[in-house]
Amino acid sequence: MESTIKSLKLVSDPTRLRILSLLNQDPLTVAELQEILGMGQSRISTQLSQLKAAGLVIDERSGKNNVYSASLPATLLPITLQAAGEIPEVSADNVALRHILSKRKDYARAYFDELAGRFGKDYVPGRSWKALAEALIKVLNYRDVADLGAGEGTLSQLLAQRAEKVIAIDLSPKMVDYAQKLAIANGLSNLEFRIGDIENPPIDEASIDLAILSQALHHAENPQRAIDSAFRILRPGGRLIILDLLQHNFSEARELYADRWLGFSESQIHSMLEKAGFSSIETLIADKEETPPKFQTLLAICCR
pLDDT tens per residue, range 48-90:
999 998 889 999 887 778 899 999 888 889 988 898 889 999 9
Residue 10 near residue 56, CB atoms below 8 Å? yes
**CATH at residue 79:** 1.10.10.10
Q: Are residues 288 and 167 in the same domain?
A: yes
pTM surpassing 0.95? no
Pair (76, 153) in one structural domain: no
Please check whether residues 177 and 261 belong to one and the same domain: yes
Last residue of a domain, one of 63, 90, 117: 90
Residue 95 lies in a domain: no
Q: What is the CATH number of the domain that holds 171?
A: 3.40.50.150
Higher pLDDT, 111 or 91: 91
Same domain, 51 and 146: no
Question: Could you tell me if 126 and 78 lie in one domain?
Answer: no
Residue 38 lies inside a defined structural domain of this protein: yes
| pLDDT computed for residue 135 by the predictor | 78
Q: Would 102 be classed as within a structural domain? A: no
Instruction: Check whether residue 73 and residue 216 sit in a common domain.
Output: no
Give domain status of residue 99, yes or no: no
Is 126 part of any domain?
yes
Give domain status of residue 96, yes or no: no
Each residue of 97-127: pLDDT tens digit?
Answer: 988 887 776 655 666 666 666 666 666 676 6
Q: Is the pLDDT of residue 269 over 90?
A: yes
Is 50 inside a domain boundary?
Answer: yes
Burial class, 36, CB count within 10 angstroms (exposed 0-12 / middle 13-18 / buried 19+): buried
- Choose one of 90, 116, 140: the last residue of a domain: 90
* Phi then psi dihedrals of residue 167, to 5 deg: -110, 120
Distance separating alpha carbons of residues 285 and 296, to the nearest angstrom = 7
Q: Is residue 143 part of a domain?
A: yes
What is the DSSP code string of the chain? -HHHHHHHHHHTSHHHHHHHHHHHHS-EEHHHHHHHHT--HHHHHHHHHHHHHTTSEEEEEETTEEEEEE---TTTHHHHHHHHTTSTHHHHHHHHHHHHHHHHH-HHHHHHHHHHHHTTTS--TT--HHHHHHHHHTT---SEEEEET-TT-HHHHHHHTTSSEEEEEES-HHHHHHHHHHHHHTT-TTEEEEE--TTS-S--TT-EEEEEEES-GGG-S-HHHHHHHHHHHEEEEEEEEEEEEBP---TTHHHHS--SS--B-HHHHHHHHHHHT-EEEEEEEEEE-SSTT--EEEEEEEE-
For residues 252 and 14, what is the distance between their CA atoms, to the nearest angstrom?
A: 32
Which residue segment(s) compose the domain that 144 sits in?
A: 108-303
Give the pLDDT band (50/70/90) at residue 1: very low
CA–CA distances in Å: residue 226 to residues 143, 211, 230: 22, 11, 6
Residues 232 and 135 in one domain: yes
pLDDT band at residue 164 using 50, 70 and 90 as cut-offs: very high
Order of all β-strands in the sheet with 28-29: 28-29, 65-70, 57-62
Q: Which of 24, 56, 90 is the last residue of a domain?
A: 90
Question: Do 63 and 115 fall within a single domain?
Answer: no
My answer on whether 167 and 193 are in the same domain is yes
* Number of domains composing the chain: 2
